[in-house]
């Protein structure tokens, strides 16, 4: 059984928003044993949508659409689907009841545009939207299925988790994927591929290894379809762990912020951050995890030297002699923020994010990271690249990785 994901909206094609829906859907579908054969994005144009549907139905059994089903005039998916399936819009009182419930909870009044969402294509199965007002529409034709969902991520995710995936599992028999995940750092993707070339050549039939690089790290995924490979999967995972050695950070799918939070919580430790070039991004990443208040006390964003002196108590002579981007400065930042915010651990970062501000001695992408744990500091110099956004993301990754390794 093959699935195609189609995301709809002009905002996707002009880069106004990033299509995160497709990535999330593909991961969830793969985890449940479904095969995604294509991902397509199309604008708010009826002819282009219909053409995309024709092409997709030529290679997939199930089409999952997101977007274009809201109350505004540019939301044309519902009307386009009516033409495509040769049907018409009819009023559905149950959808209006859902809209009334949602609006009453938010203390809002229903207007005509909102009320128009209660019109649905005749003949399709209408699935209630538990997280919004636009209904989920399920069409079946010639043993093929099309599902239209809202593009709002929380609404799509709720629909997929609670309704769509369970219904697809009832329609089709799928073998689950077996998956083992390994987070690796301190090696490039190409160097890692060379290191693992013999391992990949010797993998038994049915098992495969995927490389998923990110800023400063690589996630490896060992895949197999079907429980018959379970014993072989365990054996190959153990072999891979032995080859990776100290390069291995974690044997899980957890994000860096989750890994750090889990380590801190298990050891009953607290953490703080002192950030210069990352501007609070590390603190932001840490606090995206629910319950981060158990271990995160706070952050001091010391972007200027004056703030480094006044709030983090970095001596003026140290700043003058070594410069803000240096080992002595980040060591002071790490130790002092832990003392000021009363934490067991800390992360300090100072660097040149770019695109300007570099020199021959300290080019753009020069980043010093210092981690602090139980009175000891560990400072390390990184060269993260030339692009500002990449440098900030990579510096945050390196900083959290460094503390995770220190805690281990």
Q: Are residues 142 and 281 located together in one domain of the fold?
A: no
Q: Phi/psi at 60 (nearest 5 deg)?
A: -135, 155
Clarify whether residues 373 and 326 are in a common domain.
yes
What is the reported pLDDT for 101? 86
Q: Within this chain, do residues 25 and 135 fall inside the same structural domain, yes or no?
A: yes
User: Residue 87: what pLDDT?
Assistant: 97
* 239 alpha-carbon distance from chain centroid: 29
155 and 26 co-located in one domain: yes
**Number of domains within the chain:** 3
Q: What is the pLDDT of residue 6?
A: 98
**Structural domain range at position 187:** 177-250
Strand partners, 250: 183
Domain boundary residue, one of 124, 153, 171: 171
Q: In DSSP terms, which residues pair with 149 in a beta bridge?
A: 66
pLDDT digits (tens, 9 = 90+) for 105-150: 888 888 887 788 899 999 999 998 988 888 899 999 999 999 999 9
Q: If residue 345 lies in a helix (H) or strand (E), which one and from where to where?
A: strand 345-351
pLDDT score of 107: 83
By the 10 Å C-beta count (0-12 exposed, 13-18 middle, 19+ buried), 334 is classed as: buried
Residue 226 belongs to domain with CATH number: 3.30.70.2860
203 and 314 co-located in one domain: no
Please tell me whether residues 280 and 370 are part of one structural domain.
yes
d(CA 341, CA 273): 9
What is the domain-level CATH number for residue 369?
3.90.950.20
Give me 58's structure tokens: 């030529």
Give CA separation, 349 vs 277, 284, 331, 399, 401, in Å: 7, 14, 9, 7, 13
Sorted by sequence, the CB contacts under 8 Å of residue 128 that are 6+ apart come out as 94, 95, 98, 135, 136
Together in a domain, 242 and 161: no
- Contact (CB, 8 A) for 353 and 388: yes
174 vs 111: CA distance, rounded Å: 44
The predicted pLDDT at position 117 comes to 85
CB within 8 A of 1, min separation 6: which ones?
Answer: 34, 35, 61, 62, 168, 172, 174
- Give the CATH number of the domain where residue 75 resides: 3.40.980.10
Beta strands in 102-161 (DSSP E): 119-121, 125-127, 136-141, 144-149
In terms of domains, do 129 and 165 share one? yes
Q: Are residues 6 and 151 in the same domain?
A: yes
The verdict on 262 and 244 lying in the same domain is: no
Which tens digits make up the pLDDT trace of 374-403? 999 999 999 999 999 999 999 999 999 999
Residue that is last in its domain, among 121, 138, 171? 171
Residues 6+ apart with CB under 8 A from 285: 256, 257, 396, 400
pLDDT tens per residue across span 281-307: 999 999 999 999 999 999 999 999 999
Alpha-carbon span 370 to 108, nearest angstrom: 50
- Please give the pLDDT value at position 4: 98
* Together in a domain, 295 and 162: no
Tell me what pLDDT residue 74 has: 67
Residues 203, 263, single domain; the answer is no
Q: Among 200, 235, 250, which residue terminates a domain?
A: 250
Bond preceding residue 355 cis, omega within 30 of 0: yes
pLDDT beneath 50: ranges in the chain: none
Query: Minimal CA–CA distance to 348: which of 392, 398, 391, 399?
Result: 399
């Amino acid at each position: 059984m093959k699935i195609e994901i189609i995301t709809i909206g002009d905002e996707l094609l002009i880069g106004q928003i990033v299509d995160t829906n497709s990535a999330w859907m593909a991961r969830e579908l793969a985890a449940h044993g479904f095969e995604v054969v294509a991902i397509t994005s199309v604008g708010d144009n009826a002819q282009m949508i219909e053409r995309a549907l024709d092409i997709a139905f030529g290679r997939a059994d199930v089409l999952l659409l997101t977007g274009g089903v809201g109350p505004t005039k540019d939301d044309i998916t519902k009307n386009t689907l009516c033409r495509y399936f040769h049907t018409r819009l009819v009023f559905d009182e149950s959808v209006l009841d859902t809209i009334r419930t949602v609006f009453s909870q938010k203390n809002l009044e229903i207007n005509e545009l909102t009320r128009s969402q209660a019109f649905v294509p005749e003949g399709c199965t209408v699935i209630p939207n538990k997280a919004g007002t636009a209904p989920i529409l399920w069409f079946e034709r010639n043993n093929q299925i099309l599902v239209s969902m809202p593009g709002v991520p929380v609404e799509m995710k709720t629909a997929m988790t609670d309704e769509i995936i369970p219904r697809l599992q009832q329609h089709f028999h799928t073998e689950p994927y077996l998956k083992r995940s390994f987070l690796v750092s301190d090696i490039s993707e190409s160097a890692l591929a060379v290191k693992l070339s013999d391992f990949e050549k010797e993998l038994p039939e049915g098992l495969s290894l995927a490389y998923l690089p990110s800023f400063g790290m690589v996630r490896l995924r060992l895949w197999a379809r079907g429980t018959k490979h379970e014993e072989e999967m365990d054996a190959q995972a153990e072999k891979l762990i032995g080859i990776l050695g100290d390069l291995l950070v974690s044997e899980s799918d957890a994000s860096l912020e989750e890994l750090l939070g889990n380590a801190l919580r298990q050891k009953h430790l607290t953490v703080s951050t002192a950030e210069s070039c990352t501007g609070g991004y590390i603190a932001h990443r840490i606090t995206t995890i629910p319950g981060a208040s158990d271990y995160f006390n706070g952050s001091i964003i010391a972007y200027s030297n004056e703030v480094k002196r006044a709030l983090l108590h970095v001596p003026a002579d140290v700043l003058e002699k070594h410069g803000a981007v240096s080992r002595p400065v980040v060591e002071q930042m790490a130790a002092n923020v832990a003392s000021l915010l009363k934490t067991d651990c800390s992360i300090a970062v100072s660097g040149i994010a770019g695109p300007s501000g570099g020199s021959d001695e300290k080019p753009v992408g020069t980043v010093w990271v210092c981690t602090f744990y139980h009175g000891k500091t560990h400072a390390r110099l990184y060269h993260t690249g030339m692009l500002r956004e990449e440098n900030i993301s990579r510096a945050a990754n390196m900083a959290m990785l460094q503390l995770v390794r220190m805690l281990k």
